Amino acid sequence: MNTTPPTIAVFDAYGTLFDVHSAVARLADTVGPDAGRISELWRQKQLEYTWTRSLMQRYADFWQVTEEALDHALASFGRRDEAVRRALLDAYQKLDAYPDVREALDGYRRQGLRVAVFSNATTAMLSAALNAAGLDDLVDTVYSVHALEIFKPDVRVYAAAAKAFGVAPSSIAFHSSNGWDAAGAASCGWRALWINRAGRPQEYPWMHVPAVPDLGQALAHVTTATVPIFGAIRNAERKDA
């Protein structure tokens, strides 16, 4: 088992650093009484469309996927208002960061780790979001799947990101609020933590990905742990002959 400390802290963006529901929450009065359900469906379809486009080999960038998902969510609740649509998309480019983010990123930097963001989003989306949240000064590098034209959790994007960061997969401390993303990273040898902000039940039993409720506790794990606590393929996954 690898007990060497990681050299780079890598973060998923949407749901991990940025509150994906803050766009609708900010405009709840305008969106109407179904605002919460619209936001949940928007996020659900945004992720679903990345997976289906990848499987179909019909890539479109993450901004287009986000627009398509919003269109479906609004239509599902009978809201076909172009002004509301535009306001929500504008708000999505300036999502709120979670309260624990700045302190956590700064903490990793003070521990001597580089800080990176690894996302399905385009670099333009990420740059705008980091700048709007005032986090751009805490991030050393950004890697987008866009150059590969395929989304997480395809194994190729994790391999390409590790290469871009210039480190071995086992040197990466990866943080994602998406259990499937953390499991995908762990399957490629990254040391992954699931930032389980919603307190959901453990998923992906064929992987072992530890969960913590927020980035503050993630920082404590990464900087104080004396044994490996990151995801790895479970021995039970090996099938008997």
Contact residues for 55 (Cβ-Cβ < 8 A; gap 6+) = none
The per-residue pLDDT string of the chain (241 residues; one tens digit each, 9 = 90 and over) reads 556 889 999 999 999 999 999 999 999 999 999 999 999 999 999 999 999 999 999 999 999 999 999 999 999 999 989 999 999 999 999 999 999 999 999 999 999 999 999 999 999 999 999 999 999 999 999 999 999 999 999 999 999 999 999 999 999 999 999 999 999 999 999 999 999 999 999 999 988 899 999 999 998 888 765 334 444 444 334 343 3
Domain boundaries, the chain: 8-18+96-237, 22-92
pLDDT at position 2, please?
58
**218: phi then psi, degrees, rounded to nearest 5:** -60, -45
Show which residues are catalytic. Answer: 12
Which regions of the chain does DSSP assign to beta strands (E)? 8-11, 114-119, 141-144, 172-176, 191-195, 207-208, 211-212, 232-233
φ, ψ of residue 192 in degrees (nearest 5): -105, 145
Are the C-beta atoms of residues 126 and 144 closer than 8 Å to each other?
yes
Among the listed residues 193, 201, 187, the one whose alpha carbon sits nearest the alpha carbon of residue 237: 187
CA nearest to 173, candidates 10, 12, 13, 16: 10
22-92: CATH topology: DNA polymerase; domain 1 (1.10.150)
Provide the angle, in degrees to the nearest 10, between the axes of the packed helices 101-110 and 215-224: 20
> Which residues, other chains included, contact 232 with Cβ-Cβ below 8 Å and sequence gap of 6+?
1, 186, 207, 208
In angstroms, the Cα distances linking 91 to 23, 24, 29, 132, 177 are 5, 8, 14, 10, 21
CATH classification for the domain delimited by 8-18+96-237, as one of 3.40.50.1000, 3.40.390.10, 1.10.150.120, 3.40.50.720: 3.40.50.1000
Is the torsion defined by CA of 126, 189, 2, 229 positive or negative?
Answer: positive
Strands 191-195 vs 141-144: parallel, antiparallel or unpaired: unpaired
**Contact partners, residue 82, CB within 8 Å, separation at least 6:** none
pLDDT of residue 238: 37
pTM of structure: 0.92
Residue 190 in contact with residue 169, Cβ under 8 Å?
yes
